[in-house]
Amino acid sequence: MEEIIFQLITYSGAARSSVFEAMSAASEGDFEKSKELMEEARKELLSSHKIQTNLIQKEAGGDKTEVNLLLVHAQDHLMTSILARDLIEKMIEMEEKIKDLESKIVT
C-alpha cells in the first residue's frame, strides 16, 4: 500500500511542478512551452487519478483501505495539484489575452 501511496504523491507532485513551470513559461511569452508543460501535467494527473480510482473501487468492493496520515497526505497532494492546474490554466489564458492586447496598443 505504501508504494501505491508514494506513486500518488510522485505523480501529483510532478504535475504540480509542471503547471507552475507552465505559468512561468507563459509569463515569459513562451506559450508553446507552456502548453507542452500543461500536457505533461495532464498525463501525470491522469496517472494519479487512475490510482485514486482504483483505491476507491477497491473500497466500494469491500476491500477496506486503512486511512493513515500518509494516505491523507497523498490525497492532499492530488487535490492541490488539480486545483493548481485549474487556476493556472485560467491564468495562462489571461496572460495570452494580455500579450495579445499589448501587441495591439499603438504608442
Instruction: Check if 49 is active-site.
Output: no
Contact 76, 11 (CB under 8 A): no
In angstroms, the CA 17 to CA 107 distance is 38
| Nearest CA among 65, 86, 104, 105 for reference residue 23 | 86
Residue in 73, 80, 86, 97 annotated catalytic: 73
70-80: b (≥16 Cβ within 10 Å) or e: ebeebbebbee
- Residue 76 annotated as lining a ligand binding site: yes
Residue numbering of the annotated binding site: 76
Q: Which residues are annotated as a binding site for Mg(2+)?
A: 76
* Catalytic residue list: 73
